[in-house]
């Protein structure tokens, strides 16, 4: 179920991304007009099948073959060798570290001042303008243009 929802969300994102006819690399602060072409309708003659084709039954005769194969009845054996371990005595010198339990306390030091941290980088986004007052179209999306507005950091 999660895969289906993820796929549908991805498909909608790709569809919205590719359906925009705005520039891919716009300049912040510039506005772009998107023109809409009117829909064109026409009449066409279409042929529709009345009876389905799946009612026709076609039979094919069975075909048989004779195949000869060689079969291995007993697998090859394996030989196991046991090699005894070699034991010995060896002297190794090492140094034990004694500072593992020693604790030193340093006084805390605080500095006066402030530091500016940028939590979000500067970006830009597309925004649609308000409808022009002299627009005569009944469509609310007509007479608008898109602006690529910068968003400060």
Residue 9, φ and ψ in degrees, nearest 5:
-65, -40
Return the number of other C-beta atoms located less than 10 Å from residue 146's C-beta: 19
Return the number of other C-beta atoms located less than 10 Å from residue 121's C-beta: 8
Residue 59 inside a domain? The answer is no
Residue 82 inside a domain? The answer is no
Return the number of other C-beta atoms located less than 10 Å from residue 28's C-beta: 13
Q: Residue 131: which domain range?
A: 25-36+105-153
Residue 135 inside a domain? The answer is yes
Residue 58 inside a domain? The answer is no
Residue 74 inside a domain? The answer is no
Residue 39 pLDDT: 77
Joined together, the tokens standing for residue 96 give 């034990």
Q: Provide the total of helices (H) and of strands (E) in the chain, helices listed first.
A: 1, 3
Residue 65 pLDDT: 92
Residue 129 inside a domain? The answer is yes
Number of domains in the chain: 1
46: left (phi over 0), alpha (psi -120 to 50) or beta: beta
Residue 66 pLDDT: 93
Torsion angle (degrees, nearest 10) of CA 8, 9, 10, 16: 110
Q: State pTM to two decimals.
A: 0.28
Residue 126 inside a domain? The answer is yes
Residue 70 pLDDT: 87
Residue 149 pLDDT: 87
Residues of the chain short of pLDDT 70, as ranges, are 11, 13-21, 35-37, 99-100
Residue 133 gets which letter from DSSP?
Answer: T
């Amino acid at each position: 179920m999660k895969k289906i929802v993820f796929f549908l969300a991805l498909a909608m994102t790709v569809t919205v991304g590719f359906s925009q006819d705005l520039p891919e690399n716009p300049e912040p602060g510039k506005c772009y007009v998107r023109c809409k072409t009117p829909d064109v309708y026409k009449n066409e003659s279409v042929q529709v099948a009345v009876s389905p084709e799946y009612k026709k039954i076609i039979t094919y005769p069975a075909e048989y073959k004779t195949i000869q194969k060689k079969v291995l009845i007993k697998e090859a054996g394996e030989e196991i060798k046991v090699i005894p371990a070699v034991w010995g005595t060896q002297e190794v010198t090492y140094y034990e570290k004694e500072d593992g339990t020693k604790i030193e306390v340093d006084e805390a030091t605080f500095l006066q001042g402030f530091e500016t941290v940028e939590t979000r980088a500067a970006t830009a986004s597309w925004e649609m303008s308000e409808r022009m007052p002299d627009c005569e179209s009944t469509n609310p999306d007509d007479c608008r243009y898109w602006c690529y507005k910068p968003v400060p950091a």
